[in-house]
Amino acid sequence: MPWTIAELEAQVGAKPSAIDLKVIDHMDEHARRWLRASPLGFAGFSDAQRIDATIAGDDPGFAAALDEKQLRLPRAALDDPDQAQQGRGVGLLFLIPGIGETLRINGSVTSADSQSIVIAVQECYLHCAKALLRSDFWRPEQPPIEDAGDFVRSSRFMALATADTELNTDLSPKGDPAGLLAQAFEGGIRYADRPGNRRTDSLRNILVRPQASALLIVPGHTQVARIRGPVDISADPQLRQPFTVRDKTPKLVTSILSPSIELRTSLALARARPWLASAPPADIDPAAIFAAHVRLHKARGLGAIVTKGLVAIPGLMRKSLDVDYKRNLY
């Protein structure tokens, strides 16, 4: 069925008023510290013709801030460096082993040469841990996989790239237990829209540009399934029911129709070795980063002032996150 933005957001549920306050327009010291600890990233790139997705990985700190507004990626760190062309929109997602939250950076490619890719940063924010918690991302397994069908059924994490007509590009994390993340049907592959931060970025993009590129991950494997195709959003109860978890049925499902599916080895995953890492850095506290970013946001209305005052209360952000992850995981 055709949707409007209002109809989609009504189906998903009201967005908390404070959500947009966590988004800043630069990389602060917290974001730069996150990058120094991250060995693994997912990237989505878009132009007027296509939307792509790839993986970036190497030793922690391979992605570096040149300054608050510019991010450098080594070309050699990407599985598909040719996706990073000057002028393309980009959405990035950076992970730190052992931590559920992820750092998201959106912007555009300002230069790309034989050595490096420079990205102008437009948005920077920390994403909630729900996708990684649902996927149990940091607990690797190696189920027997013979073909792409086995891989899709065994996958527990998805990096979904979408973009609008202005090349605002989004790379969203999706996570679920094996068999519940992605389900094949006669016409393609379907996935559920689970509770997250309710910014609805990917849904909004799909409304105006119904295309997507996705990477499916089986934690512990260095293989990845890359899927690309037109997409369709549905609230049909019969389509949503197979994705029920803990007696909770998702509000929406999205189908990738007649997709191209490529199963390949990711050299970036092999270099990053995300499942062999030791404990996460003790000096990175996601709750403190959320609070810091809210305080850095430039909004000055009454609601923003109240929210900034609340996040300044010691321990309140951590408690709020823990409650949200427990009550609203599905």
pLDDT > 70 in the chain, percent: 95
Residue 252 has pLDDT above 90, yes or no: yes
Per-residue pLDDT tens digits for 92-117:
999 999 999 999 999 999 999 999 99
Residue 193 lies in a domain: yes
Per-residue pLDDT tens digits for 16-67:
666 778 899 999 999 999 999 999 999 999 999 999 999 999 999 999 999 9
Residue 280 lies in a domain: no
Which amino acid belongs to residue 134? R
Tell me the C-alpha to C-alpha distance, in Å, between residue 137 and each of 28, 31, 82, 132, 231.
Answer: 27, 21, 28, 5, 25
Residues 230 and 214: their CA atoms lie apart, in Å, by 11
Residue 295 has pLDDT above 90, yes or no: no
Of 105, 117, 219, 210, residue with least CA distance to 158: 219
Residues 330 and 323: their CA atoms lie apart, in Å, by 13
Residue 115 lies in a domain: yes
Average pLDDT, the chain: 92
Residues in contact with 110: Cβ distance below 8 Å, sequence separation at least 6, in sequence order:
70, 86, 118, 119, 120
Phi, psi of 11 (to 5 degrees): -70, -45
Question: What is the rounded average pLDDT of the residues 279-288?
Answer: 91
> What is the total count of domains within the chain?
1
Question: What is the rounded average pLDDT of the residues 283-307?
Answer: 80
Residue 47 lies in a domain: yes
Per-residue pLDDT tens digits for 28-40:
999 999 999 999 9
Question: Do residues 58 and 156 touch, judged by C-beta distance below 8 A?
Answer: no
Residue 131 lies in a domain: yes
Residue 279 lies in a domain: no
Which amino acid belongs to residue 97? P
Here the tokens at position 131 are: 């996708």
Which position has the higher pLDDT, 94 or 200?
Answer: 94
Tell me the C-alpha to C-alpha distance, in Å, between residue 326 and each of 104, 116, 198, 320, 329.
Answer: 23, 41, 17, 10, 6
Q: Please report the pLDDT score of residue 95 as a whole number.
A: 98
Of 97, 124, 91, residue with least CA distance to 40: 97
Domain range for 314 is: 5-273+285-327
Confidence of residue 178 (pLDDT cuts 50, 70, 90): very high
Phi-psi region of 246 (alpha: psi -120 to 50; beta: other; left: phi over 0): left
**CATH code of 314's domain:** 2.30.110.10
Per-residue pLDDT tens digits for 64-87:
999 999 999 999 999 999 999 999
Strand order in the sheet with 102-112: 51-57, 40-46, 89-95, 102-112, 116-127, 70-74, 64-67
Angle at 325 between CA 93 and CA 151, to 5 degrees: 55
Length of the chain: 330
Question: Do residues 180 and 194 touch, judged by C-beta distance below 8 A?
Answer: no
Per-residue pLDDT tens digits for 126-171:
999 999 999 999 999 888 888 999 999 999 999 999 999 999 999 9
Residue 35 lies in a domain: yes
Q: Please report the pLDDT score of residue 303 as a whole number.
A: 61
